[in-house]
A and B are shown apart, each in its own frame.
Chain A
Amino acid sequence: MKSSNSLLRFGAGFYRHEMKLAALLLVLGIALAVAAPRFFSSANLALLARSMGVVLMVSVGMLNVILSGGIDVSAGAILAVVSVVLVRLGNHGLSASTVLPLGLLTGAALGAVNAALIAELRIPPIVATLGTAGLFRGLLLEWTQGEWESSIPAWLNAVGSPRWGGLDASVLAAALVMLAAAGTLHRTQIGRSLFRFGDSPVAAARTGISPRQPIYLAYVSLGILTAIGAVFYAAQLGAVQGNAANGYELTVIAAVVLGGADILGGRGSLLGTFLGVLLLCSLEQALVLLHVANFWQNIATGAVVLLGVILSTTERLHRTLLVQQSPSA
């Protein structure tokens, strides 16, 4: 009896939005099975998985930021900076064991810059990260002088090459990131403080949560996860330059919001984020398979994001109505 009860709640409560996303995916899947059966070939599915890895890692970081009530539009710039750092240092002959930690450190440091602007100087996140996005990207272009790093070190190439039936290490890494994030968000106090802080900073302060710690946690974790993503991003592309990953943050934010995260903070889930990434990446892949023109891809992606957000909004409107109608006495 208890299990049926909790199952019901699973459907009606906690994962309402995720269920809707899953339904949306199902519809897309059926449509694809008819229009492009090739989509479900094992080769294509492996390709899809590979394309999802990096997006998913950065999205998990972005979920942390959005949960805390913030936003980071410098994620694309951070991805580019770390990619170039990895490749350049690697090409200079530094070993993987030196380059990889340096890359992670770079990501963490750039995230910390964002966090400091937001937590210490109280600059609104959108403004702070817009500023740093320009700054990071500009410094990177100055450093590279706009030139391509057209080859990557052999060890990095090995990281990105497909094995295990077309899958590469990014898939494994993304899975590990998901696991680690699930542990942190749900099983640790600092993880929960992210939800609390994002939900109500005032109430959080009144329960003794530091007004800075969640901000640092969010932006630095995004920096680190983006740096991990950058390893695979560079490895898969095989060449990087200063304009890499332009606009990447928008895809990532779209995926997280599509996944049901509340852009005002405090609400969101890893499962939703995963489904959001899956939906966006499958859609993109499918449209390529169907030879749909590029601008149509934008239109379709935009429409799906809006649809997802409308789904979660109506849910919230409905919920507010429920509260208003129920007798408060």
Chain B
Amino acid sequence: MPSSALLEIKAISKYYGGTAALRDVSLTLQTGQILALMGHNGAGKSTLVKILAGSARQDSGEIRVEGKVLPGGVREARTAGIAVIYQDLSLFPKLTVAENIAGEPTGRFSYSFRAAKRAATASLERVEGNSPLLACLDRNVDELPLAMRQRVAIARALSYDSRILILDEPTAALSFEDTDHLLAYLQKLASDGVGVLFVSHRLSDVRRIADRYLILRDGAVALSRTAAEVSGNALAGAMFGEARENAASNATQVAGPTQRSALGDVLTVRNVTRQGEFSNVSVTLRAGEIAVLTGLTGSGRTEFAEALVGLRRWERGELQVSGKPLSLSGPRSAMRHGLVYVPEDRLRSGLFVRRSAAENLLGATGHLRARCGFLGKEIARAAAEISDFGIRCQGPESTLETLSGGNQQKVLLARWHMAGAHVLLLDEPTAGVDISAKAEIHKRLRQWSAAGAALLVISSETDEVLDLADRVFVFHAGTLVLDCRRREINREQLMAAMLHGAPQTEHRLAQPGGET
């Protein structure tokens, strides 16, 4: 019988409703190992993290820490030595730094500020020697900038004896220096015998420290190899799914966007810059064309799209709609020019989920077109739109909560169709919808575009980019690194641009082999 691993996950599955978030995922983490857990949005990474942290329970399979079965529950996970640093940090913003770091419930009855402060100091000194946080132990966390908050979260996770450290996208908000520091520290921890599970999108960070890779795709393990066995391209391929390359390119040919003649420039931005988010971006959206904007999470895609409709202000640059220079004060003035942004988080910032489908459809323009405030005819139009868009629901009066994700998304699209929008910025329109709904949404978008609308779709999914796009934009670290037609690019070039900011070379990465 082999000696037990530090952490062993055996065939765990987790279902949310009918959808599998994790399917038969297994992994082992040895002492001193740094395991990179990768995969794009919705691949199941955060579900796995939640299960390990004890805040969610798997539906089947088991987890063992040093041979002992891990019971559910946050405290139990902690006692077993698992520490998690969440992407949202999960700090207490109104409490002091010292308390955030060392004020964890210990099971003891009494609590002492002084002891917490002492423990926090000790923990900070151990983590980073002369930490700038030492000077602000008594400040509230909400007074600190983000990078400092991240340090608080890390110091907290390391303040108690953790043998398994899980980091969810820890470098997303860090500068290069801070990242270097963190990575070096993780290596030191690993050499001290801590097992590190490092969840990240940033291939360049991951490759510097990982001993082993585990890639999830659609909730299942797509790749599990040691660092020596695998090249950067193989990682990217496993992350984005290369098996479907053929199917995707066929689909593109069927859709045949190439003959369609663009009707003219509808929206042009030149050299727009917003400090820390995107810089010097110039793009043109044309009528009758679907442009897909892609890039890793955090590359500034969403920020850029929000800026286009006036949700964020840029510092430099200009915007033209149909040839006229404009300055938009917000979504309302953008709407007046037919320019609409459909956010990714449809439940929170797109839809009125407790209201009926009809009301949601009229949400954009009902108040503009109602006759003396009465909506009679408009409701009939909404009903027509529902059947036209193939939205499956009990009727126009059914509340949106009762609809599936795909149908909710269709309601959102139908709303702007009714409103007559002709420039659409759609942020991840197919995130979290099932495959058939996705195909339907794609079909709608193509029809819409063929009818003369200009579409900008933001997507992290390579398949979707290649399927849907007439034109491809790629963002990397806030700059537009690629702007070309779909047929001028293949999957490898696209992935290289997303990951490294350059379509061909991988010169940013010092890596053995794996060059194309």
Binding site for A on B (CB under 8 A): 53, 55, 73-75, 78, 84, 86, 90-95, 99, 103-113, 138-140, 142-147, 173, 175, 276
**Residue of chain B at shortest CB distance from A264:** B94
Contact B138 A13 (CB under 8 A): yes
> Can you list 13 A-B pairs with a CB-CB distance of less than 8 A?
A191-B111, A192-B103, A196-B95, A199-B95, A200-B90, A203-B90, A205-B74, A208-B74, A208-B75, A319-B143, A323-B142, A323-B144, A328-B173
Residues from 250 to 266 in A contacting B, C-beta threshold 8 Å: 262, 266
Q: Which A residues are in CB contact (< 8 Å) with B142? A: 319-320, 323
What is the distance, in angstroms, from B293's C-beta to the closest C-beta of chain A? 23
Contact A192 B99 (CB under 8 A): yes
Contact B143 A322 (CB under 8 A): yes
What is the distance, in angstroms, from A271's C-beta to the closest C-beta of chain B? 15
Q: Is the interface of B mostly helix, strand, loop or mixed?
A: loop
Contact A186 B146 (CB under 8 A): no
Picked from A188, A199, A206, the residue with its CB within 8 Å of the CB of B86 is A206
A267 within 8 A of B: yes
Picked from B55, B73, B113, the residue with its CB within 8 Å of the CB of A186 is B113
Q: Which B residues are in CB contact (< 8 Å) with A262? A: 94
In the assembly, what is the distance between CA of A306 and CA of B144, in Å?
A: 28
Q: Which A residues are in CB contact (< 8 Å) with B138? A: 6, 9, 13-14
What is the distance, in angstroms, from A250's C-beta to the closest C-beta of chain B? 25
Known: A208-B74, A208-B105. A202 touches B90 (CB 8 A): yes
Binding site for B on A (CB under 8 A): 6, 9, 13-14, 186-193, 195-196, 199-200, 202-209, 262, 266-267, 319-320, 322-323, 326-329
Contact A196 B92 (CB under 8 A): yes
Contact A188 B74 (CB under 8 A): no
Q: Is the interface of A mostly helix, strand, loop or mixed?
A: helix
Picked from B107, B139, B147, the residue with its CB within 8 Å of the CB of A328 is B147
Contact A206 B95 (CB under 8 A): no
Contact A189 B105 (CB under 8 A): yes
What is the distance, in angstroms, from A180's C-beta to the closest C-beta of chain B? 14
In the assembly, what is the distance between CA of A6 and CA of B378, in Å?
A: 65
Q: Which A residues are in CB contact (< 8 Å) with B94? A: 195, 199, 262, 266-267
In the assembly, what is the distance between CA of A115 and CA of B131, in Å?
A: 42
Known: A14-B138, A328-B145. A207 touches B74 (CB 8 A): yes
Contact B92 A200 (CB under 8 A): yes
In the assembly, what is the distance between CA of A262 and CA of B140, in Å?
A: 14
Interface centre among A9, A13, A191 (most CB of B within 10 A): A13
What is the distance, in angstroms, from A276's C-beta to the closest C-beta of chain B? 18
In the assembly, what is the distance between CA of A207 and CA of B104, in Å?
A: 7
Q: Which A residues are in CB contact (< 8 Å) with B74? A: 205-208
Contact B111 A199 (CB under 8 A): no
Q: Which B residues are in CB contact (< 8 Å) with A191? A: 111
| Additional A-B contacts beyond A196-B92, A207-B104, A326-B145 (6; CB < 8 A) | A9-B138, A202-B90, A207-B74, A208-B75, A208-B104, A319-B143
In the assembly, what is the distance between CA of A208 and CA of B104, in Å?
A: 9
Contact B145 A206 (CB under 8 A): no
Contact B55 A206 (CB under 8 A): yes
What is the distance, in angstroms, from A320's C-beta to the closest C-beta of chain B? 8
In the assembly, what is the distance between CA of A206 and CA of B54, in Å?
A: 8
What is the distance, in angstroms, from B361's C-beta to the closest C-beta of chain A? 29
Contact B95 A323 (CB under 8 A): no
**Residue of chain A at shortest CB distance from B176:** A329
What is the distance, in angstroms, from A315's C-beta to the closest C-beta of chain B? 11
What is the distance, in angstroms, from B141's C-beta to the closest C-beta of chain A? 9
In the assembly, what is the distance between CA of A319 and CA of B145, in Å?
A: 11
Q: Which A residues are in CB contact (< 8 Å) with B144? A: 323
Contact B105 A203 (CB under 8 A): no
What is the distance, in angstroms, from A312's C-beta to the closest C-beta of chain B? 12
Picked from B75, B95, B106, B175, the residue with its CB within 8 Å of the CB of A195 is B95
